[in-house]
Structure 1
Amino acid sequence: MADASPRTDISTDADTDDKNQQFDRSLSHAGMVSDSSDRSKDKTDQKSLRRLAQNREAARKSRLRKKAYVQQLESSRLKLTQLEQELQRARQQGVFISSSGDQAHSMSGNGAMQFDAEYARWLEEQNRQINELRAAVNSHASDTELRMIIDGILAHYDEIFRLKGIAAKADVFHLLSGMWKTPAERCFLWLGGFRSSEVLKLLVNQLEPLTEQQVVGITNLQQSSQQAEDALSQGMDALQQSLAETLSTGSQNSSGSSGNVANYMGQMAMAMGKLGTLEGFIRQADNLRQQTLQQMHRILTTRQSARALLAIHDYFSRLRALSSLWLARPRD
């Protein structure tokens, strides 16, 4: 017992030293892990800070671009307002300003310019009627009240077709060229107006839900309108080809003999006779447009007809607005 006691004390001290060394190593390892974690955390924080800085810079640039765009729109709007005011003053003075801006002509005695003025007044009245219809639809007016407004709008369409018939007798080329329309509207012009089949395509998705009978009616109306349009287009193509052939016949004879003069006058007379059929094409195209509107009204309910007329008006209003913005766009 006496011999064992010293050995036991030595063993206990050795174990304690080992434990202390292990504890120190653990602390050292933990410190290293903590340092590594701190460095990783610092890197993550730096990435986050850079990302936030980049986001702030992108947001700042986006705000600047948006501000510049808004200023550009405001400038375009002011230019558009000035153009409208100048046009209004010109109409009040009875003067037509050409697109080049370097000519001014009196409207008296000119059928094309008289039609332009009448069309401008017609458009103003249509805007008033459409605003009345829109207010009635939004206020859930009765079908009787809506029907009265719709009948007035359809009668107003009849008036523009009547005015175009008179203008075609005075200057059919003015109607065909579409110079009484805005530039964007002229892109879609067909024989002095809109294509009935295309308008019906625009309406189908905006008038849902439609009954099966209504879908069949609209589809048949669209197909018949398309067939009539194709026939008129083919007639116009044939007229242009025939007119070109008439004008080119005998063009090689350049002598000034009386016989050649007679042939020339004969060619001009034939060409004038063929040009006279253009008025008929305009009249048939307008009849098709008029009948399409009337048939559409018969197929649809009163409220659907109201929505259809609003959609047609909004479409052409957007085309006119697009033209105004395009003409007033910055060109620097």
Structure 2
Amino acid sequence: MADASPRTDTSTDVDTDDKNQRFQAGQSTAVMAYESSDRSKGKTGDQKAVRRLAQNREAARKSRLRKKVGALAFEIEYARWLEEHNRQINELRGAVNSHASDNELRIIVDGIMVHYDDIFRLKGIAAKADVFNILSGMWKTPAERCFLWLGGFRSSELLKLLVNQLEPLTEQQLVGIDNLQQSSQLGEDALSQGMEALQQSLAETLASGSLGTSGSSGNVANYMGQMAMAMGKLGTLEGFIREADNLRQQTLQQLHRILTTRQSARALLVINEYFSRLRALSSLWLARPRE
């Protein structure tokens, strides 16, 4: 028994050591497996983020292509519209200079008013394809873009120009044009304030969260959420363009009702001459001598 006792103790120590080693080895294996799994999850998350960003880039590329085609189509349509508009204006000018009857003038004036309706319709279609193209006025000449407001002219400014060119006007006509000018100004102010509010809201949406880390996988969800919110807000731009064009269209129609046929003819000639001078100014500016 004295000989057996030491051997028994030794055997017990060896078993205990083996168990500890196996336990430690198991712990190491578990830790390694966990870390490997965590890295795998991280890689999977990164891969998902990369795929999502790649999909977004491809969608953006296709969207840019569609918008480019839409913008080109509108520019072609606008060139055709402008060509026909110039033909009608020349016909109107000839009728005015030859002292045509009111009935003859009315037919030409009504045709030009209908033709104005066409450009507002075309702009509405183009705004659905690429609202930024209409908003920026890239289909206009540089000098025209300098005075652009929400994709077109300011009705209130045009009325100020016309009042000085259409004399003599009756007292009733002056009151009517003045009221029209004030209502146009109120409509423009409301739309301008709405645009300012939209821009401020967009800036706050884009600036929310941490900037400069949108490429990391941990912020992809937050980034995509911000972009989705911003896209939703940008969708209202089309409404602003549509309302601005409605205001312009209604102003022309109401002005036509206030004026006589010959005054309406004169007003259309004045409006055309003003925008023709803007286009000519652009041509002169681009052709100016440079050092």
1:191 corresponds to which residue?
150
- Counterpart-to-counterpart distance in 2, 1:251 and 1:208: 61
> Once the 2 structures are TM-superposed, how far is the Cα of residue 292 of structure 1 from its aligned partner?
0.3
Give the letter for the 1:181 counterpart: K
2:269 corresponds to which residue?
310
> Once the 2 structures are TM-superposed, how far is the Cα of residue 262 of structure 1 from its aligned partner?
1.1
TM-score w.r.t. structure 1 length? 0.66
- Counterpart-to-counterpart distance in 2, 1:246 and 1:226: 30
1:45 corresponds to which residue?
none
- Counterpart-to-counterpart distance in 1, 2:178 and 2:84: 31
Give the letter for the 1:152 counterpart: G
Q: Structure 1 residues 179, 219: CA separation in 2 closer, same or farther (over 3 Å shift)? A: same
Give the letter for the 1:118 counterpart: E
1:268 corresponds to which residue?
227
1:156 corresponds to which residue?
115
> Once the 2 structures are TM-superposed, how far is the Cα of residue 263 of structure 1 from its aligned partner?
1.1
What SS is found at the alignment partner of 1:110? Answer: helix
Equivalenced residues, count? 227
- Counterpart-to-counterpart distance in 2, 1:255 and 1:210: 62
* Aligned residue runs from structure 1 range 100-249, under 5 A: 110-249=69-208
- Counterpart-to-counterpart distance in 2, 1:162 and 1:252: 41
Paired residues of 2:67 and 2:130 also in contact (CA < 8 A): no
Q: Structure 1 residues 130, 256: CA separation in 2 closer, same or farther (over 3 Å shift)? A: closer
2:244 corresponds to which residue?
285
Paired residues of 2:67 and 2:129 also in contact (CA < 8 A): no
Paired residues of 2:206 and 2:226 also in contact (CA < 8 A): yes
1:51 corresponds to which residue?
none
1:30-62 C-alpha deviation (Å, 9 max, x unpaired): xxxxxxxxxxxxxxxxxxxxxxxxxxxxxxxxx
1:12-45 C-alpha deviation (Å, 9 max, x unpaired): xxxxxxxxxxxxxxxxxxxxxxxxxxxxxxxxxx
Paired residues of 1:253 and 1:260 also in contact (CA < 8 A): no
Q: Structure 1 residues 321, 253: CA separation in 2 closer, same or farther (over 3 Å shift)? A: closer
Structure number, greater radius of gyration: 1
Give the letter for the 2:288 counterpart: R
Q: Larger relative CO (CA 8 A, sep 6+): 1 or 2?
A: 2
Give the letter for the 1:222 counterpart: Q
Q: Structure 1 residues 211, 272: CA separation in 2 closer, same or farther (over 3 Å shift)? A: same
Paired residues of 2:184 and 2:247 also in contact (CA < 8 A): yes
Structure 2 unaligned regions, length at least 5:
1-64
1:48 corresponds to which residue?
none
- Counterpart-to-counterpart distance in 1, 2:223 and 2:230: 11
- Counterpart-to-counterpart distance in 2, 1:255 and 1:172: 26
- Counterpart-to-counterpart distance in 2, 1:242 and 1:166: 26
Q: Structure 1 residues 132, 107: CA separation in 2 closer, same or farther (over 3 Å shift)? A: farther
Q: Structure 1 residues 269, 255: CA separation in 2 closer, same or farther (over 3 Å shift)? A: closer
What SS is found at the alignment partner of 2:213? Answer: coil
Structure 1 unaligned regions, length at least 5:
1-105
1:256-289 C-alpha deviation (Å, 9 max, x unpaired): 6655211111101000000000000000000000
RMSD of aligned alpha carbons: 1.7
1:204-225 C-alpha deviation (Å, 9 max, x unpaired): 0111110000000000000000
1:64-109 C-alpha deviation (Å, 9 max, x unpaired): xxxxxxxxxxxxxxxxxxxxxxxxxxxxxxxxxxxxxxxxxx9997
Q: Percent identity at matched positions?
A: 84
- Counterpart-to-counterpart distance in 1, 2:214 and 2:246: 46
Q: Structure 1 residues 205, 255: CA separation in 2 closer, same or farther (over 3 Å shift)? A: closer
